[in-house]
């Protein structure tokens, strides 16, 4: 599976486990909701800096997002 798709699925799974909407999660990560949507769908190619922001907002490790 493509790393972008795997990252997106893991972000979506962790976000939903916390009961957050995309909008709420995006706000916590300091990103736009449409950007988060693109990441979750695997169509965005986020930089490692953005992946770090996503992980911090989810209180997860980068490895959890990429694994």
- Can you list the domains of the chain with their CATH numbers? 3-60 (1.10.260.40)
* pLDDT of 28 over the 90 cut: yes
pTM for the predicted model, two decimal places: 0.94
**Predicted confidence band at 22 (pLDDT cuts at 50, 70, 90)?**
very high
Q: Residue 37: its pLDDT value, please? A: 98
**Predicted confidence band at 1 (pLDDT cuts at 50, 70, 90)?**
confident
CA atoms of 30 and 63, how far apart (whole Å): 21
Contact 11, 59 (CB under 8 A): no
* pLDDT of 63 over the 90 cut: yes
Q: Residue 65: its pLDDT value, please? A: 96
Q: Residue 54: its pLDDT value, please? A: 98
């Amino acid at each position: 599976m493509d790393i972008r798709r795997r990252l997106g699925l893991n972000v979506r799974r962790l976000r939903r486990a916390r009961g957050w909407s995309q909008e709420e999660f995006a706000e916590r990560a300091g990103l736009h909701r449409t950007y988060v949507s693109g990441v979750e769908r695997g169509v965005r190619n986020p930089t490692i800096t953005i992946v770090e922001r996503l992980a911090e907002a989810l209180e997860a490790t980068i490895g959890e997002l990429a694994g």
